[in-house]
Amino acid sequence: MFITLNGEPYELDEPMSIVDLLAKLAIDPRRVAVEHNLTILKRHLFGETVVHEGDCVEIVNFVGGG
């Protein structure tokens, strides 16, 4: 199955939670914000929110800026 991850197609074997997706991507959940199908998720919802086929996920973090 495919999802759209940060604007690009991304293949997953099966639906998985945001926590598992972040772990798969080796991303520290404490340092990012996640938007799932245009809804911004509170961090405590990462475990119970499941990503399904066709979903849109945005993962953002802080970078240098002025």
Partner 1 sequence: MVDTPFVIAGRTFASRLIVGTGKYSSHPVMAQAHAASGADMVTVAVRRVNISDRSRESLLDYIDTDRMFILPNTAGCYTADEAIRTARLGREAGLSNWVKLEVIGDERTLFPDNEALIEATRVLVREGFIVLPYTNDDPIACRKLEDAGAAAVMPLGAPIGSGLGIQNVNNMRIIREFARVPLIVDAGVGTASDAALAMELGADGVLMNTAIAGAQEPVAMADAMKHAVIAGRLAYLAGRIPKKMYATASSPVQGMVGR
Name the residues that contact partner 1, by CB under 8 A: 5-8, 10, 25-28, 31-35, 40-43, 58-66
Choice between 10 and 14, CB closer to partner 1: 10
Least spacing, CB of residue 35 vs partner 1, in Å = 6
Counting every residue written for the chain, the total comes to 66
DSSP letter string, 20-39: HHHHHTT--GGG-EEEETTE
The amino acid at 52: H
- Closest of 60, 29, 33 to residue 47, by C-alpha: 29
Least spacing, CB of residue 62 vs partner 1, in Å = 4
Choice between 40 and 53, CB closer to partner 1: 40
